[in-house]
Structure 1
Amino acid sequence: MHVLRTPDDAFAGIADYPFAPHHADITDRATGTAMRLHYVDEGPRDAAPILLLHGEPSWSYLYRKFVGPLVAAGHRVVAPDLIGFGKSDKPADRNDYTYERHVEWMSDWLTGLDLTGITLFCQDWGGLIGLRLVAAFPDRFARLVIANTGLPIGTGWSEGFRAWLEFSQKVETFPVGFIVNGGTTRDLTPAEIAAYEAPFPDETFKEGARQFPTLVPITPEHASVAENKAAWEVLGRFDKPVVTCFSDKDAVTHGGEKLFIDRVPGAKGQPHTIVQGGGHFLQEDAPEEVVQIILDHINRG
């Protein structure tokens, strides 16, 4: 496995991401390849962590407006960059990215840090991976906040996802900043768009971003259908508090909250939210509202 690392100076011009870098060494189980995973880790180390998981094609920069307010409220905030994204290492071959490998990489990172009492906020692929972590290590999680994501088991896809899949595989140059901007209801600034593009100096760094859409198990023939079904079995017994906060303007995941509300015991009777005017990346469109949802969820106990 050949691994690329974005030079540190690619991130030097980002003004609103003041967080000290933290790194963990991850070893791919199949090949023994060593990789460096970057994560934000702010706030008191003895506080129960709030784990913020990003998706495609973003990175922990997506949570820059979450970290300060959550830390100010007394919490530890941990926000990793998935392998292939942000400041984490990036395998150069598309075939090295699989759903199960991502789950393994993040499982090893999670257990390596020995995080417990976790409040999880997950969106997009942060949910596809994060909810698998919950299923694998339910005792490590205290509560969940699930936003604009799913855990597919091969039963189809939305028209919005179909359009995204087609675009992602046909576009010649993968326009990361343009994609994130297209998933918001406000216009990102040029500096914000540049920050989303910073992890990818050229197209060779984007193989994970290219591959992710093809890995979503939307048909029975996709890999990871069986593993996701098994995860749903665990989630079907998960009785710790769960809230959903999906957006009304996200064509990809619209209505997806219903599955979690109906199937996860901990979601029963909770104050679920539809974020009005939010796009797919609601972290950009409504950061203050979503931070308050997280804090309220924790404060309810």
Structure 2
Amino acid sequence: MKVLRTPETAFAAIADFPFAPHYLEVASEPGGTPLRIHYIDEGPRDAPVVLMMHGEPTWCYLYRHMIGPVVAAGYRVVAPDLVGFGKSDKPAAKADYSYARHVGWMRQWLEALDLTDITLACQDWGSLIGLRLVAAMPERFRAVALSNGGLPEGGPAPRAFAIWRAFSQWSPVFPIGKIIAKGTKRPLSPAEIAAYDAPFPDAGYKAGARIFPSFVPFEGNPAVPDQKAAWAVLDGWHKPFLCAFSDGDPITRTGETRFIGRVPGTAGQAHRTLRGGHFIQEDDPEGFVAAILDVAKAGAQA
């Protein structure tokens, strides 16, 4: 496996991300190439954990406006970069990636850190991977805050997503910073767009970002059985589960209806609608923080 690592100099111009980097290696497969995962780890090490998981095609920079307020509320915030993104290592070939491998890599990482008492805050692929971790290790989690994401288990792809999936596979250019800017309601500054481009010095670094949309397990995807197994756990999940979807995301619109009423832990939670587009962390970080703190508090009392 050929593995690329974005040089640290690529991130030197980012001025609004004052968090110390941390790194941990996992195996790409049993006995395979080691992969270095980057993560942010802020707040007291003995505090309850809020795990902030990003999606496609972002990195933990997405949570920069949320980390400080959650730490100030008394939590330890841990925010990783998925393999292929951010400051984490990037296998160079699309064939090096799979949904199952992503889940396995993040499970190795979480177990190596031995995180427990976790409130999961997730969006986009942060939910597809994060909720699989919840299902695989429910004893490590106490609550979930979900925004603009899901856990598909078959069925047809929504039209907006099908268009995005085709673009990711066939477009001759894949301008990641501009893609993210199109998924927000507030205009991103040139510096913010550059920060989202920073992990990808050239097209060779984008294999993970390019292939991710094809892994979403709609009808015919080989991951559907694993999704159904995860849903079997969530169908019995009684710990607090709060949905905070946005009012302006064409990809995940009405996605909360797949959880509220089905996951037992959604009962009695203060579900809410946030204001913004797909990348709600950019549009309404205060609203997402409030949702996380509410469900984390409910999890402590459960």
- Partner amino acid, structure 1, of 2:277: G
Task: Give the 3-state SS of the residue equivalent to 2:239 in structure 1.
Answer: coil
CA distance in 2, matches of 1:237, 1:247: 26
Residue equivalent to 1:115: 115
- Partner amino acid, structure 2, of 1:116: T
Residue equivalent to 2:223: 224
Residue equivalent to 1:144: 144
Counterparts of 1:264-283 in structure 2 under 5 Å? 264-276=263-275, 278-283=276-281
Unaligned ranges ≥5, structure 1:
none
Q: CA deviation at 1:158?
A: 1.2
Q: Confirm or deny: 8 A CA contact 2:152 2:216 kept in the other structure.
A: yes
CA distance in 2, matches of 1:196, 1:145: 24
Q: Confirm or deny: 8 A CA contact 2:87 2:199 kept in the other structure.
A: yes
CA distance in 2, matches of 1:128, 1:298: 20
Unaligned ranges ≥5, structure 2:
none
1:87-131 CA-partner distances (Å, limit 9, x unpaired): 000000001110000000000001110000000001000000000
- Partner amino acid, structure 1, of 2:229: A
Residue equivalent to 2:261: 262
Residue equivalent to 1:289: 287
Q: CA deviation at 1:297?
A: 2.1
Answering whether residue 209 of structure 2 is matched by residue 188 of structure 1, we say no
Q: CA deviation at 1:11?
A: 0.5
Q: CA deviation at 1:30?
A: 4.8
Residue equivalent to 1:234: 233
CA distance in 1, matches of 2:163, 2:188: 22
CA distance in 1, matches of 2:129, 2:246: 20
- Partner amino acid, structure 2, of 1:287: P
Counterparts of 1:34-73 in structure 2 under 5 Å? 34-73=34-73
CA distance in 2, matches of 1:30, 1:172: 35
Answering whether residue 76 of structure 2 is matched by residue 76 of structure 1, we say yes
Q: Confirm or deny: 8 A CA contact 2:181 2:188 kept in the other structure.
A: yes
Residue equivalent to 1:211: 211
CA distance in 1, matches of 2:170, 2:158: 19
Answering whether residue 5 of structure 2 is matched by residue 5 of structure 1, we say yes
- Partner amino acid, structure 1, of 2:279: F
- Partner amino acid, structure 2, of 1:2: K
- Partner amino acid, structure 2, of 1:290: F
Of all paired residues, the percent bearing the same amino acid is 57
Q: CA deviation at 1:140?
A: 0.3
CA distance in 2, matches of 1:43, 1:26: 24
TM-score scaled to structure 1, two decimals?
0.98
Counterparts of 1:121-132 in structure 2 under 5 Å? 121-132=121-132
Residue equivalent to 2:297: 299
Q: CA deviation at 1:31?
A: 5.8
Residue equivalent to 1:92: 92
CA distance in 2, matches of 1:133, 1:122: 12
CA distance in 1, matches of 2:295, 2:223: 31
1:45-100 CA-partner distances (Å, limit 9, x unpaired): 00011000000000000000011111111110000000000000000000111000
CA distance in 2, matches of 1:154, 1:57: 22
Task: Give the 3-state SS of the residue equivalent to 1:154 in structure 2.
Answer: coil
Q: CA deviation at 1:272?
A: 0.5
Q: CA deviation at 1:166?
A: 1.6
1:182-217 CA-partner distances (Å, limit 9, x unpaired): 110111000000000000000000000000011111
Query: For the structure 1 residues 212 and 31, does the alpha-carbon distance in structure 2 shift closer, same or farther, using more than 3 Å as the test?
Result: farther
- Partner amino acid, structure 1, of 2:110: L
RMSD after superposition: 0.9
CA distance in 2, matches of 1:159, 1:218: 12
- Partner amino acid, structure 2, of 1:248: D
CA distance in 2, matches of 1:134, 1:85: 22
TM-score scaled to structure 2, two decimals?
0.97
Residue equivalent to 2:250: 251
Q: Confirm or deny: 8 A CA contact 2:23 2:38 kept in the other structure.
A: yes
Greater shift after overlay, 290-299 or 96-105?
Answer: 290-299
- Partner amino acid, structure 2, of 1:37: I
CA distance in 2, matches of 1:251, 1:288: 21
Q: Confirm or deny: 8 A CA contact 2:142 2:296 kept in the other structure.
A: no
Runs in 1 of length 4+ with deviation above 6 angstroms? none
